[in-house]
């Protein structure tokens, strides 16, 4: 089988590229070692939260941010295109019902009660926007160890005040469980809440505890397959706005988003082949022609005209560091930029220090093609997207998923423009 495009990796960057290419008429195959970071942190699409000051409008802040960080992935994607990628995603992933955009950031509470800037979020999260202030009640479950609403509420009031927002927040705890289990993950709750009986029980337990005028924050577990219905029913039952607060992995909203992508891509003829690791590649005259992946009994070769590398950073093993500190790009052995020289420190003693290794990754040209040290594309037809790109500190900037969407969209665009 010959594909138009092989996408390596099925995190948010790979999924975005695959969806756009499939929509552009490409025969797409997604080859992945395993699930991507959507399952860990896919709840909100943060485009730029801090740079380093808190960002209110990503699209307005990006030009200055990029000028200060010329090696940043956003320096390869013009700000209007970043905004366009979010609009495109909102339109083409209707099942996930995304709200927002690059124009202005929401301020949403994290599970530890810090208001965090996010650009594009599922509708079940959006009504947690703290900017207008108000009265909030946060709901915990005794059987869920990954959410502490009293701690959240207390921090939130103080942190919001520090940002000039007046709000009140309190917490309640519900005995809701499944089969009497004392230790349930958010994912187990979400699956159970796909069943109407448990939803009714949730509403029954919660309804008497909510006061008039309150907005209700729950951990992000309101259903997996049928999140919209769970959310609607709960809002109807309470007569109050309800929103979800993302908490520790696995990320229920991230899994919903992954499922929405997979369905959309499959519907357009795209294929997913999982548990495959790139082990070899073939190239001719500066073009990549095929990749070989490890499979059950022998390597299997996939040929294509274009390739998108979205294998992630260190967390997803797109990059690997050995005990000497040497960093390798694991699929094609591409040049890696920003690696500290031998003998230089790789990490610094303070956890929040700016570590020399943080911006390590693959450097790319304006079409997101990995380049060598001279700035020339390594392969004419290989584009890279997402966390593998050099130049970002996404966890600090609150930019990770935004970079993935913008560069996945841009990589696919470059390929579609080329033919």
Partner 1 sequence: MASLHTEVLVIGGGSTGAGVIRDVAMRGFSGMLVDRSDLATGTTGRFHGILHSGGRYAVKDPHSAKECIEENRILRRIAADYVEDNGGLFVTTPADDPGFGDRFLTGCQAVGIPAQEIPVPEALRLEPRLNPEISRAFTVPDASIDAWKTVWGCARSAQEYGARILNYHRVIRLLVDGRAVSGAIVRNEVTGEEFPIHADFVVNAAGVWAGQIADLAGCEGVTVLPGKGIMIAMNHRLVNSVVNRCRMPTDGDILVPIRTVCVMGTTDTPVPDPDRLEVTQAEVDKMLDEGEQLVPGFREARALRVWAGARPLFQDTKVEVRSTRELSRSYALLDHRERDGVERFLTITGGKFTTFRRMAEVTVDALCAQLGEDRPCRTDEEALPDCEDGRYYWLGARLAAREAALTDDQLICECELISRRRLEEAIEQRGTANLDDVRRTVRLGMGPCQGGFCIYRAAGILHSVRQTPGEEANAALLDFLQERWKGVQPILYGDQVRQARLDDWIFQGLLDVEHLPA
Nearer to partner 1 (CB atom), residue 249 or residue 270:
249
**Residue 122 within binding range of partner 1, rule CB under 8 A:** no
Which residues between 276 and 315 bind partner 1 (CB under 8 A)? 313-315
Of 105-113, 198-206, 271-279, 364-372, which segment contacts partner 1 by CB under 8 A?
A: 105-113
Interface mask (CB under 8 A) for partner 1, residues 126-165, using x and -?
-----------------x-xxxx-xx--xx--xx--x---
341 is a contact residue toward partner 1 (CB under 8 A)? no
Among 14, 361, 386, 400, binds partner 1 (CB under 8 A): 400
Q: Which of 35, 114, 238, 268 binds partner 1 (CB under 8 A)?
A: 114
Q: Which of residues 356-385 bind partner 1 (CB under 8 A)?
A: 357
325 binds partner 1 (CB under 8 A): yes
Query: Is residue 322 at the binding interface for partner 1, with CB under 8 A as the rule?
Result: yes
**3-class SS letters over the chain:** CEEEEEEECCCHHHHHHHHHHHHCCCCEEEEECCCCCHHHHCCCECCCCECCCECCCHHHHHHHHHHHCCCCHHHHCCHHHHHHHHHHHHHHCHHHCEEECCCCCEEEECCCCCEEEECEEEHHHHCCCCCCCEEEEEEEECCCCCCCHHHHHHHHHHHHHHCCCCEEEEEEEECCCCCCCCCCCHHHHHHHHCCHHHHHHHHHHHHHHCCCCEEEEEECCCCCCCHHHHHHHHHHHHCCCEEEECCCCCCHHHHHHHHHHHHHHHHCCCEEEECCCEEEEEEECCEEEEEEECCCCCCEEEEEEEEEECCCCHHHCCEEECCCCCEEECCCCCCCECCCCCCCCCCCCCCCCCCCCCCCEECECCCCCEECCCCCECCCCEEECHHHECCCCHHHHCCHHHHHHHHHHHHHHHHHHHC
**Per CB under 8 A, 103 contacts partner 1:** no
Rule CB under 8 A: say whether 35 interacts with partner 1.
no
Give the interface with partner 1 as residue ranges (CB under 8 A). Answer: 37, 40-41, 43, 46, 110-116, 143, 145-148, 150-151, 154-155, 158-159, 162, 180-183, 246-249, 313-315, 317, 320-325, 343, 346-352, 357, 394-396, 398, 400
């Amino acid at each position: 089988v010959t594909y138009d495009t092989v996408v390596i990796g099925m995190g948010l960057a790979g999924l975005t590229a695959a969806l756009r290419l499939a929509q552009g008429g490409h025969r797409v195959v997604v080859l992945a070692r395993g699930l991507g970071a959507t399952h860990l942190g896919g709840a909100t699409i943060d485009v730029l939260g801090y740079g380093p000051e808190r960002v209110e409008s990503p699209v307005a802040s990006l030009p200055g941010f990029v000028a200060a960080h010329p090696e940043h992935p956003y320096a390869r994607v013009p700000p209007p295109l970043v905004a366009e990628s979010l609009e495109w995603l909102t339109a083409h992933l209707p099942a996930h019902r995304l709200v927002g955009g690059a124009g202005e950031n929401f301020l949403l509470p994290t599970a530890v009660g810090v208001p965090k800037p996010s650009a594009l979020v599922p509708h079940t999260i959006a009504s947690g926007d703290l900017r207008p202030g108000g009265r909030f009640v946060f709901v915990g479950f005794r059987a869920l160890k990954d959410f502490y609403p009293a701690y959240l509420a207390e921090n939130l009031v103080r942190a919001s005040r520090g940002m000039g927002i007046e709000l009140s927040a309190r917490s309640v705890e519900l005995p809701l469980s499944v089969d009497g289990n004392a230790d349930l993950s958010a994912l187990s709750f979400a699956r159970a809440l796909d069943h109407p009986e448990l939803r009714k029980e949730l509403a029954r337990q919660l309804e008497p505890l909510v006061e008039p005028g309150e907005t209700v924050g729950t951990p992000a577990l309101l259903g997996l397959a049928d999140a919209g219905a769970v959310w609607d029913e709960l809002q109807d039952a309470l007569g109050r706005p309800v929103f979800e607060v993302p908490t520790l992995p696995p990320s229920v909203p991230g899994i919903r988003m992954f499922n929405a992508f997979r369905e959309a891509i499959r519907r357009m003829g795209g294929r997913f082949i999982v548990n495959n690791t790139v082990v070899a590649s073939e190239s001719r005259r500066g073009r990549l022609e095929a990749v070989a992946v490890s499979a059950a009994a022998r390597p299997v070769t996939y040929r294509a005209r274009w390739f998108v590398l979205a294998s992630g950073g260190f967390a997803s093993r797109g990059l690997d560091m050995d005990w000497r500190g040497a960093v390798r790009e694991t699929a094609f052995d591409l040049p890696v930029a920003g690696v500290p020289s031998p003998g230089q420190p790789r990490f610094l003693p303070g956890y929040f220090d700016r570590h020399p290794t943080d911006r390590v990754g693959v450097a790319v040209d304006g079409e997101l093609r990995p380049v060598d040290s001279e700035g020339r594309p390594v392969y004419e037809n290989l584009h890279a997207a997402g966390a593998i790109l050099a130049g970002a500190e996404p966890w600090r900037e609150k930019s990770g998923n935004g970079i993935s969407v913008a560069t996945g969209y841009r990589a696919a665009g470059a390929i579609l423009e080329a033919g």
